[in-house]
Amino acid sequence: MTIEHGGALDRAIARFGGTRADWLDLSTGINPEAFPLPEIAPEIWNRLPDESLLTQALDAARGYYGAADTAAIVAAPGTQALIQIVPELVAPGEVAILSPTYQEHHAAFARAGWAVVPCADIGSAPATAKAVVVVNPNNPDGRVVSGDALLGLAQKLQARGGLLIVDEAFADAHPETSIAAGAGSESLIILKSFGKFFGLAGLRLGFAISGAEIARKLAERLGPWAVSGPALAIAVHAFCPSPLPSPRSSRGEGGLDVGAFSFAPGAKEEGGGDADVSLSPSERGEGKGEGPGSILDAFRRRILARRARLSDVFQRVGLVEIGGTALFALIRHRQAHVLHEELCRRHILVRKFDYEREWLRIGLAANEADFDRLEQAFKDIRA
């Protein structure tokens, strides 16, 4: 089963030409702003990751995700590594996967010998299912299943020895959707992606929140030193950050200051009013007494500002937005594959779907110049 993913820039270049510097890659759901990195001591690079650093990272993750004290947490080299291991934790049976969704779940369970049953909602999951997979918020349409419904399903599955896997890869920007506070039973696994929200996908870091026995099995399959020392150190810093640096160090092209993040008038908040996206020094975490929460809130606000600007682009060019999360939008167009190719000819890469030919998923641009470029490309194509 060959699965197409976003970020396939090399293939796009091979077909449409140009260099990486020529392209605007909006095909992923990764924050285009990387969280500021800490200074990492040379010995962390020099030695194998030690137990104390791993413990620090897991404790920081527990606090950041709001995981229950009874839950166990496992660090992995990316959520994808966990997705491939989870189907091997119990004997194969029938697995219901809320679909359409991130296709690697289907592929991993099928490889492990499970019978995969796609379903439209958790209410239509067969009672015979031994496992259920829910990506929440969903990729690519942003569908959200309520926490109460998910925890209720986990209890039902526990009663028959089943397992609920909730992939919260995009929940960091929507913390109200997370059920990490309800984790701890052996019937629930929550998967967390570090790289998407923090803009550090190349670090390859993810976490599983589960019951103790499941965590033991996951750690056993991952083996020793599964996550590098630098990755663990960066996680500790990101989950419990010091004040962000001056926005002068993160100025985007086209005059957009992505530290202060002032967008042009007309950007809208999700509630519909004018977006207030200009952050004061204290909101950026530069003032005295500004704790990790305010710094992360400011980082989250910059994501939401970019997302509002993306919606503004669609409104200006008359495209229909049908879903998404804070890190990407899903649009419908009757000739989406043609639109995808025309964007590629202009060296702009977005995500198309073979299973739904009217959909395009479009990620966030880094700065105002890139948003303007996207908007102009749409106008030129539709002219």
What's the CATH code, domain 42-239? Answer: 3.40.640.10
Q: In the Cβ-directed half-sphere of 309, how many Cα atoms lie within 13 Å?
A: 28
Mean pLDDT by 10 residues, the chain (383 residues): 73 95 97 96 96 97 96 98 97 98 97 98 95 98 98 96 98 97 98 98 98 98 98 97 50 37 29 35 40 84 98 97 98 97 98 96 98 98 80
Please report, for the chain, how many H helices and E strands are present, in that order.
Answer: 12, 13
Element (H, E) at 75: strand 72-76
Q: Sign of dihedral through CA atoms 85, 89, 95, 96? A: negative
Q: Which among 321, 344, 10, 346 is positioned nearest to 140, based on CA atoms?
A: 321
Q: Which CATH architecture has domain 9-35+245-382?
A: Alpha-Beta Complex (3.90)
Residue 25 near residue 9, CB atoms below 8 Å: yes
Sheet holding 359-363, edge to edge: 320-325, 328-332, 359-363, 351-352
Up-side HSE of residue 15: CA atoms within 13 Å toward CB? 13
Element (H, E) at 115: strand 115-119
Task: Give the domain ranges of the chain.
Answer: 9-35+245-382, 42-239
What pLDDT does residue 382 have?
Answer: 85
Query: Are the CB atoms for 371 and 317 separated by under 8 Å?
Result: no
Number of other CB atoms surrounding residue 2 within 10 Å: 5
Residues 6+ apart with CB under 8 A from 383: none
Closest to 323 in 3D by CA, of 315, 312, 332: 332
CA gap 17, 25 in Å, rounded: 14
At 241 the pLDDT is 84
| Identity at 367, one-letter amino acid code | N
Measure the CA–CA gap between 364 and 370, rounded to whole angstroms. 9
* Rg from Cα positions in the chain: 21
The end-to-end CA distance of the chain, in Å, is 38
- Mind giving me the DSSP string for 206-246? EEEEE-HHHHHHHHHHH-TT-S-HHHHHHHHHHHSPPPPPP
Q: Which residues contact 144 (CB under 8 A, 6 or more apart)?
A: 136, 137, 138, 174, 177
CA distance 10 to 92: 36
The pLDDT, as a whole number, for residue 242 is: 67
**The two three-digit tokens of residue 118, written as one number:** 């796609």
Question: What residues have CB less than 8 Å from 295, skipping those under 6 apart?
Answer: 241, 242, 243, 244, 284, 285
Tell the burial category of 274 from Cβ atoms under 10 Å away from its Cβ (0-12, 13-18, 19+). Answer: exposed
- pLDDT at residue 1 in the model: 52
- Cα–Cα distances (Å) from 65 to 146, 174, 192, 237, 358, in that order, read 17, 11, 9, 14, 35
Q: Supply the pLDDT for residue 2.
A: 58
